[in-house]
Amino acid sequence: QKEVEQNSGPLSVPEGAIASLNCTYSDRVSQSFFWYRQYSGKSPELIMSIYSNGDKEDGRFTAQLNKASQYVSLLIRDSQPSDSATYLCAVSGNAGGTSYGKLTFGQGTILTVHP
Amino acid sequence: GAVVSQHPSWVICKSGTSVKIECRSLDFQATTMFWYRQFPKQSLMLMATSNEGSKATYEQGVEKDKFLINHASLTLSTLTVTSAHPEDSSFYICSARTGNEPQHFGDGTRLSIL
């Protein structure tokens, strides 16, 4: 069974702080990794995608991937109250496999940024 | 870019009614569309994968005769919940992708069956 695990939180950080969100996955052949943000009552919105080991930065967001440890994280710098949402980690399988292109989601981490 | 439109956004209907939900990719051709269901305080669960012009592939435990999926063109997929019952009440979300690009999600349809 392919699983994606996230600490469900809630994670509460003060405005301006760094929020750190973590995710582990069980399928070692997973190739693509995504972070989505979901506001209450809304559908997920793509924040970051990462495919190779290391860091990927986009504005205030940094995704980190370590395939050896089967671990992916998202750092949000200078957190704002508008970042308060549920963050979903999603993993996709390798090309040619039955799970290629299909996303397996973690249960989500609720982030609250308080003023 | 990568806009996915889903309609309707909200449906309330009586038990036994069939409900059709549309998912359109507005500014790209979607080689694959996906249908998800999300119950309150839970994550998204994939129901089925749909490729244009071919039959949908359903996940284990999803009844293909109850959840009819049609992917008639590269920009449109529909999900029909047939003879809906209260336990089918949920938030249904579609997504679309082209090639190896990430999935982009529609705004979702909140379905309430009375």
Amino acid at B12: I
- Report the 10 Å Cβ neighbour count for B32: 20
The pLDDT of residue A94 is 58
pLDDT at B78: 95
Tens digits of per-residue pLDDT, B16-51? Answer: 999 999 999 999 998 899 999 999 888 899 999 998
> Which of B42, B100, B103 comes nearest A103 by C-beta?
B103
> What is the per-residue pLDDT for A100?
58
Task: Please provide the average confidence, as pLDDT, over all residues in chain B.
Answer: 92
Q: In this complex, is the C-beta atom of A29 within 8 Å of any C-beta atom belonging to chain B?
A: no
Model confidence pLDDT, tens digit, residues A53-94: 999 999 999 999 999 999 999 999 999 999 999 999 999 875
Percent of the residues in chain B that have a pLDDT greater than 70, as a whole number:
99
Mean pLDDT over residues B78-90, rounded?
Answer: 96
CA count, 13 A, side-chain hemisphere, B109:
26
Residue A107 forms contact with B (CB below 8 Å): yes
Residues 6+ apart with CB under 8 A from A59: none
Q: What is the structure's pLDDT at A99?
A: 52
Task: Convert the pLDDT of each residue in A94-107 to its tens digit.
Answer: 555 555 578 899 99
- Closest partner CB to B102 (pick from A41, A42, A46): A46
> What pLDDT shows up at residue B63?
94
CB contact under 8 Å between B106 and A43, yes or no, is yes
Average pLDDT of the residues in B55-62: 92
Q: For residue B37, which phi and psi values (nearest 5 degrees)?
A: -130, 140
The alpha carbon of residue A35 and the mean position of all alpha carbons in its chain are separated, in whole angstroms, by 4
3-state SS assignment for residue B19: strand
Size of interface A-B (CB pairs under 8 A): 43
